[in-house]
Amino acid sequence: MITHPCLHPSLSKPSLPFLSSSSPPFLQHLSFLPTSPSITKPVLVHSVKPLHFKCSSTNPTSQSHPDHAPPISTLKIAIIGFGNYGQFLAKTLVSQGHIVLAHSRSDYSHVAKKLGVSFFLNPHDLCEQHPEVILLCTSIISTEQVLRTLPLQRLKRSTLFVDVLSVKVFARNLLLDALPPDFDIICSHPMFGPQSAKQSWKDLFFVYEKVRIGNESSRVQRCEQFLGIFQSEGCKMVEMSCQEHDKLAAGSQFMTHTVGRVLDMLGLESTPINTKGYETLLDLVENTCGDSFDLYYGLFLYNKSALEMVERLDLAFDALRNELFGRLHHVVRKQLFENGETVKSVHDSSYQNGAASAFSSNALRSQDVTIPYEFKGNISESVDDSSKLKVAIVGFGNFGQFLAKTLARQGHSVLAYSRTDYRDAAQKLGVSFFSDANDLCEEHPEVILLCTSILSTEKVLKSMPFQRLKRSTLFVDVLSVKEFPRNLFLQHLPPEFDILCTHPMFGPESGKNGWNELPFVFDKVRIGNDERRVARCNSFLDIFAREGCQMVEMTCAEHDWHAAGSQFITHTMGRVLEKLQLESTPINTKGYETLLKLVENTAGDSFELYYGLFMYNVNAMEQLERMDFAFESLKKQLFGRLHGVLRKELFGDSEKLEVLQEKSVRKNGAALSSSPESVKIS
């Protein structure tokens, strides 16, 4: 944990020079840096009202309902800051027929021309066009500098100023402080961007506060016309005070961008068999990677809770890592001191499994692509009698019951055995439950479906009375890692048993609305040539194909190369976020919804599953270290930038003077060394 005592608000320091009024709230919050008197004045704050949602209508010009968008008439809008986001908004403004002007320090005249926007390099020229609306699309950290350099005297005195910053109290106070009292002000936040809204703005949140709008009907109408731009695109319009916005949104946005940037540093890539959880991570990276570091830094700097959030995220990651290492320490102690005679054999078998996994993975990495196997079995609406199987589920916990529902519904005969008594749950599902494994095996099931945890699989398998089963029984596992059960089956099962290693890449949460299009990975490790054995294997695979699963035939080694790492990262991030107890807000961004969905998809899985992914993934330790390194690197970026701002605020003028003095000394020294008096005559 990196501590920053200089940032802790409880510390008292000797009095230092005042920070300027332009200092961000984050810096003004530091107790050892007194704020400017102008900043400490009380600010009038609207009382927090219930959220007011306005839904757009299909006909933007309709006025039959008070919540319908007003008729859109042409506005002359000047965009200040014509970067990525300014251009993004300009496209829609132009498409709606508004006159759009733009100014930016960088020359975007070619881009502006393509969009049908008039571009001005000189802000005086732009302001002399008398736009009705000034739309500030600058970064958070440059907004004050840009605002104070605008020639406000060249604008009409009733001009409407609108900002679109991701933090609102800062923007509100700045506009009230910098603008003449006769200018109108709307503080707004379109809670979407070029990536999250690339399809449309429909149902995306647009939050706003009418901070100061003149009483004249023309001003009121202009304000409604501007808001109508977003309402007509289908945005969910939410009127909310700036303080309430920051309370709800600033924290969730900062957390979203932090996690997105950490994952982006890991270089995550899509695989042929992505889980829903991993797809969620990829979506999060995609939604945040297009935003500049300036935006992220602004969220950090102008959010008073940002430092606390960084520390909470750090603590959550440390706590999870301690849980893993604590469990690992317990297992090692048990192996060394309670079962010393078997240590060597366990170590040897673990080494062999790891070596096999590494060898197989390296051999398969050279393949260009894994081709999904399109399983073509006897897929029909109903299962005929010849295809019905007698399936014994060993391990009737959460996942075993989840699969049993579908097996029973399809008409298969389902038996179950578990150390815990699930007799009542089995009866409700139409499953025959056995508390004794001998009794189960004497029923001669055609398929033994192992739904045990990764950690208990070997123990359960060794305790099975194989002698009571038919010699041609098919053994199937559904573990999240595949090389481990493959080697385990080959090592412990009699050679006449068939083996099918599978991974339904979904669970009770991600598959609660059906299995359609969800990946089901399988490897026919050992299937006898007998026609009945082949048909039985295909009948089992039909169970999942019939439900619409994406059937992918893939070796166990290739599966682990693609899936084990991505699953471990997914579950790690999900469990870290779960420890933060994130809560939904009335104005969630798409990115924050992604985080909540990730927690939902992983929270239902046991720690045993997560620990198994850690134990039986040879790259898990490296992945933990990479995540830790990525987070530490991001913190260094943030605190390094903050250090620079502090130095500039506190020592900027004195440092400049020191540099000038140093240059002067060097110049004078050089002049002295070249003077005739300094030249020695040989």
Looking at domain 390-563, does it have CATH number 3.40.50.720? yes
The predicted pLDDT at position 9 comes to: 38
pLDDT of 102-113, one tens digit each?
999 999 999 999
pLDDT of 499-523, one tens digit each?
999 999 999 988 999 999 999 999 9
By C-alpha distance, which of 586, 528, 579, 524 is closest to 555?
524
623 three-state secondary structure: helix
pLDDT of 443-471, one tens digit each?
999 999 999 999 899 999 999 999 999 99
Mean pLDDT throughout 140-144?
Answer: 92
415 three-state secondary structure: strand
The answer to whether the beta carbons of residues 555 and 487 sit under 8 Å apart is no
The answer to whether the beta carbons of residues 100 and 134 sit under 8 Å apart is no
The answer to whether the beta carbons of residues 608 and 455 sit under 8 Å apart is yes
By C-alpha distance, which of 49, 76, 83, 65 is closest to 229?
76
Which residues have a Cβ under 8 Å from the Cβ of 485 and sit 6 or more positions away?
Answer: 450, 457, 477, 479, 501, 556
Residue type, 143: T
For residue 662, pLDDT beyond 80: no
Cα-based distances in Å from 542 to 241, 371, 547: 56, 19, 8
C-alpha–C-alpha distance, residues 355 and 150, integer Å: 66
Comparing 27 with 295, the larger pLDDT belongs to: 295
Angle, vertex CA 269, rays to CA 266 and CA 271, nearest 5: 140
For residue 475, pLDDT beyond 50: yes
Percent of the residues in the chain that have a pLDDT greater than 70, as a whole number: 77
By C-alpha distance, which of 610, 587, 652, 562 is closest to 274?
562
182 three-state secondary structure: coil
The predicted pLDDT at position 225 comes to: 97
433 three-state secondary structure: strand
Angle, vertex CA 438, rays to CA 607 and CA 449, nearest 5: 45
Comparing 604 with 438, the larger pLDDT belongs to: 438
The predicted pLDDT at position 431 comes to: 98
Ranges of beta strands (E only) in 418-548 are: 432-434, 447-450, 474-477, 498-504, 519-526
The predicted pLDDT at position 24 comes to: 55
- At residue 222, φ and ψ (nearest 5 deg) are -65, -40
The predicted pLDDT at position 658 comes to: 60
Angle, vertex CA 485, rays to CA 437 and CA 571, nearest 5: 105
Which tokens go with 585?
């807000």
Q: Indicate if 390-563 has the same CATH topology as 76-240.
A: yes
By C-alpha distance, which of 213, 221, 106 is closest to 161?
213
- Read out DSSP for 359-377? HHHHHHTT-S-PPPP----
C-alpha–C-alpha distance, residues 651 and 16, integer Å: 10
Comparing 124 with 196, the larger pLDDT belongs to: 124
The predicted pLDDT at position 670 comes to: 52
For residue 173, pLDDT beyond 80: yes
pLDDT of 188-199, one tens digit each?
999 999 988 889
Neighbours of 305 (CB within 10 A): 15
Boundaries of every domain in the chain: 76-240, 253-328+568-636, 390-563
The predicted pLDDT at position 327 comes to: 85
Which residues have a Cβ under 8 Å from the Cβ of 607 and sit 6 or more positions away?
Answer: 323
Which tokens go with 80?
């200040």
C-alpha–C-alpha distance, residues 432 and 447, integer Å: 15
pLDDT of 42-76, one tens digit each?
333 333 344 555 544 333 333 333 344 444 589 99
Percent of the residues in the chain that have a pLDDT greater than 90, as a whole number: 54
The answer to whether the beta carbons of residues 481 and 355 sit under 8 Å apart is no
The predicted pLDDT at position 114 comes to: 97
CA dihedral 432, 437, 443, 446 (to 10 degrees): 90
Average pLDDT for the chain: 81
By C-alpha distance, which of 485, 494, 565, 564 is closest to 525?
485
C-alpha–C-alpha distance, residues 109 and 121, integer Å: 8
The answer to whether the beta carbons of residues 96 and 77 sit under 8 Å apart is no
Element (H, E) at 212: strand 205-212
Q: Whose structure tokens read 């041609």?
A: 472
Tallying the residues shown for the chain, one arrives at 682
The predicted pLDDT at position 20 comes to: 41
Which tokens go with 14?
């000797």
Residue 335 DSSP label = I
pLDDT of 520-562, one tens digit each?
999 999 999 999 999 999 999 999 999 999 999 999 999 988 8
**Exposed e or buried b for every residue in 242-261, given b needs 16+ CB within 10 A?**
bbbbbebbbbbbbbbbbbbb
For residue 255, pLDDT beyond 70: yes
What CATH code is assigned to 76-240?
A: 3.40.50.720
